[in-house]
């Protein structure tokens, strides 16, 4: 890690700024992807829990399918709202 810092200090000032900007852009892209995957997993888990709850109430698989189809699709890819 310290060798990277030393390498960045040895680069002339206008060029090290470009490297810093690229690191920030790439880092934010990675973080965005990670949080998007976490959100997708949470939404999927919420939908599974909702279906399991319907089955635990005694509904048949056909009734659960009807409830899921009757639920309006969420906007902008947001989570399934139960």
What 8-state DSSP symbol labels residue 78? P
Q: Domain extents for the chain?
A: 39-71
Sign of CA dihedral 51, 56, 62, 68: negative
Q: What is the pLDDT along the chain (82 residues), one digit of tens a residue?
A: 788 888 888 888 888 889 889 999 999 999 999 999 999 999 999 999 999 999 999 999 899 889 888 877 665 556 755 4
pTM of the prediction?
0.66
Q: Is 76 left (phi over 0), alpha (psi -120 to 50) or beta?
A: left
> Residue 71: how many CB atoms within 10 A of its CB?
13
């Amino acid at each position: 890690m310290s060798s990277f810092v030393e390498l960045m200090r040895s680069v002339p000032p206008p060029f090290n700024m470009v490297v810093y900007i690229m690191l920030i852009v790439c880092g934010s892209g990675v973080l965005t992807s990670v949080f998007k995957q976490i959100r997708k997993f949470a939404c999927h888990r919420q939908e599974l829990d909702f279906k399991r709850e319907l089955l635990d109430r005694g509904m048949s698989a056909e009734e659960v399918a009807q409830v899921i189809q009757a639920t309006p699709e969420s906007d902008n890819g947001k989570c399934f709202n139960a």
